[in-house]
Amino acid sequence: MAHDGHDLLDLLKLELKFLEDGGYGRAPHTSWRRELVFEDSPTCLNFSDPVRSHPCTECLLMRLVPSELRNQVSPCRLIPLTDKGETIDYFYRCGTQLELEEALASWLRKQIRCIEEQHESAREAKQSSSTSNGLDRLRQQQWLAFAGNLYSLATLHCESHNYAVAHALYEHAFAAATRVAALGDNGRSLVTRIRKDQKAVSEILYGGERGLEQAPAEEIEKVGQ
């Protein structure tokens, strides 16, 4: 339970950063429709997968869905965001995008704070053990998928010339990828690709004045230790 709580905490933090960086307001791959909270996020296991290969039961967010609603279609829409029980689905039907994002941001911060308070000791123990043992393979694969999804989304924004958003997403992708760099060549190769593309975007934004200081190979070696 402590292990899952730690991973859920990381997911919620990544989701909050995605929201704060405008992820639901500027998504080139869904420009033809309204972006869906969680479902159009790189944290979703079925991100950019029209077949939806993964059942929602594999998602860490299922812990936050009322047990009696977990068999519904898109159960993440039924997570209560407010003290009144207003859900994502409620805001789709009765609210505005601004109201939804404000409620979501408040809920994410509350959940993050609650988990941090409840699992502080377990989090510290996990950080200590993960330094030497690493994440278990299932969680490594999930975080590698998150990193790949963020990288793909950043590339889409780069192609649309949204360089500031792309740069931020590359940074989040790199943070996720470094957690699984020890998984093998796939993880290390993704770290290299992310850093290379982020450096290119950084040079576009800042004219090379704020290039990334550390070479990808050095950072990969560091996280692999």
Residue reference for tokens 């963020």: 150
Residue reference for tokens 């576009």: 204
- Other CB atoms within a 10 A radius of the CB of residue 128 amount to 10
The listed range with the strongest mean pLDDT (98-107, 161-170, 199-208) is: 98-107
Q: How confident is the model at residue 218 (pLDDT cuts 50, 70, 90)?
A: very low
Residue 123: per-residue pLDDT: 56
Q: How confident is the model at residue 186 (pLDDT cuts 50, 70, 90)?
A: low
Q: How confident is the model at residue 122 (pLDDT cuts 50, 70, 90)?
A: low
Residue 48: per-residue pLDDT: 79
| Whether 170 contacts 194, CB under 8 Å | yes
Residue 130: per-residue pLDDT: 53
- Tell me: pLDDT of 100 over 60: yes
- Tell me: pLDDT of 216 over 70: no
Residue 5: per-residue pLDDT: 53
Q: What is the pLDDT of residues 13-34, one digit of tens each?
A: 999 999 988 888 655 544 445 6
- Tell me: pLDDT of 135 over 60: no
Collapsing DSSP to helix, strand or coil, 80 comes out as strand
- Tell me: pLDDT of 75 over 70: yes
